[in-house]
């Protein structure tokens, strides 16, 4: 399956106290997943939002193959989480200072997916793919000046188009939302075979796309 899925969580606007209450995290984290928590790796509130970010990314990835799919985070199960070395040479665009890196796998129904996440002081960014090498996956995070939805939408499109224009310099690229509600990339009005995904939260926007060329 060719798809793309990503998510970003702005850590400055989460409610840490509520996050750590069982009534909150038990809505989408299973008992099995709670067993994956290792205290020295990260604070518990970061663990909770990492799992949310992974599940949301997986949902976006899967939704492109099933337009009727409904977000059921407790059915998207994170199988393992491990510390990753810095994503050197990665197709990542964004601040990596004071960041840590994690990777792992996800099971949904019969699908196994893979994730990798950057945990920064101010955000958690996640990308999901069907291949654990992420060889063809591009992704990025950008801080913007405004947090309203119009500014977020404009900024994330400009951000990803800057990247795509550098990869496809002689194209007339544009992005529009399809009927299913996810973004689609066009060249001269013709749909390109490059699945893309957007996410935004407060003043952070992020993209991912799969480019097999």
Partner 1 sequence: MDRKEILSELKKVLAPYTESKEMLDGINEQTDLIKDLKINSANLVDIIIDAEAQYNIEIDFDAAEKMYNVGNCIDVISEKINKPA
Residues that bind partner 1 (CB under 8 A): 9, 14-15, 18, 23-24, 27-28, 52, 56, 70-74, 148-149, 181, 200-201
Closest approach, Cβ 27 to partner 1, in A, equals 5
Nearer to partner 1, 69 or 167 (CB): 69
- Integer distance in angstroms from the first to the last C-alpha of the chain? 16
Report the alpha-carbon distance of residue 87 to residue 72 in Å, rounded: 30
Nearer to partner 1, 2 or 27 (CB): 27
Closest approach, Cβ 54 to partner 1, in A, equals 13
Place of tokens 């750590």: 20
Nearer to partner 1, 92 or 204 (CB): 204
Q: Are strands 137-143 and 204-210 parallel, antiparallel or unpaired?
A: antiparallel
Closest approach, Cβ 126 to partner 1, in A, equals 12
Task: Return the beta strands (E) in 77-203 as ranges.
Answer: 77-83, 92-93, 100-108, 111-119, 123-129, 137-143, 173-177, 183-187, 190-191, 196-201
Nearer to partner 1, 72 or 112 (CB): 72
Closest approach, Cβ 115 to partner 1, in A, equals 17
Report the alpha-carbon distance of residue 151 to residue 16 in Å, rounded: 26
Residues 6+ apart with CB under 8 A from 137: 4, 91, 127, 129, 208, 209, 210
User: Quick one: residue 124, left, alpha or beta (phi over 0 = left, psi -120 to 50 = alpha)?
Assistant: beta
Closest approach, Cβ 65 to partner 1, in A, equals 18
Nearer to partner 1, 26 or 165 (CB): 26
């Amino acid at each position: 399956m060719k798809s793309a899925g990503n998510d970003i969580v702005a850590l400055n606007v989460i409610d840490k106290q509520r996050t750590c209450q069982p009534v909150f995290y038990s809505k989408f984290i299973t008992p099995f997943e709670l067993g994956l928590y290792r205290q020295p790796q990260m604070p518990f509130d970061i663990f909770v939002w990492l799992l949310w970010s992974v599940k949301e990314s997986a949902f976006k990835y899967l939704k492109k193959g099933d337009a009727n799919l409904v977000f059921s985070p407790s059915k998207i199960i994170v199988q393992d989480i491990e510390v990753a070395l810095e994503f050197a040479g990665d197709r990542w665009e964004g601040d990596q200072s004071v960041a840590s890196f994690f990777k792992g796998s996800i099971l949904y129904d019969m699908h196994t997916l893979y994730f990798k996440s950057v945990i920064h002081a101010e955000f958690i960014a996640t990308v999901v793919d069907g291949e654990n090498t992420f060889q063809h996956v591009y992704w990025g995070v950008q801080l913007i000046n405004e947090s309203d939805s119009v500014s977020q939408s404009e900024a994330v499109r400009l951000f990803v188009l800057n990247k795509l224009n550098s990869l496809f310099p002689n194209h007339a690229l544009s992005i529009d939302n399809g009927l299913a509600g996810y973004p689609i990339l066009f060249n001269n009005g013709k749909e390109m075979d490059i699945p893309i995904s957007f996410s935004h939260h407060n003043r952070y926007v992020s993209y991912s796309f799969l480019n097999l060329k």
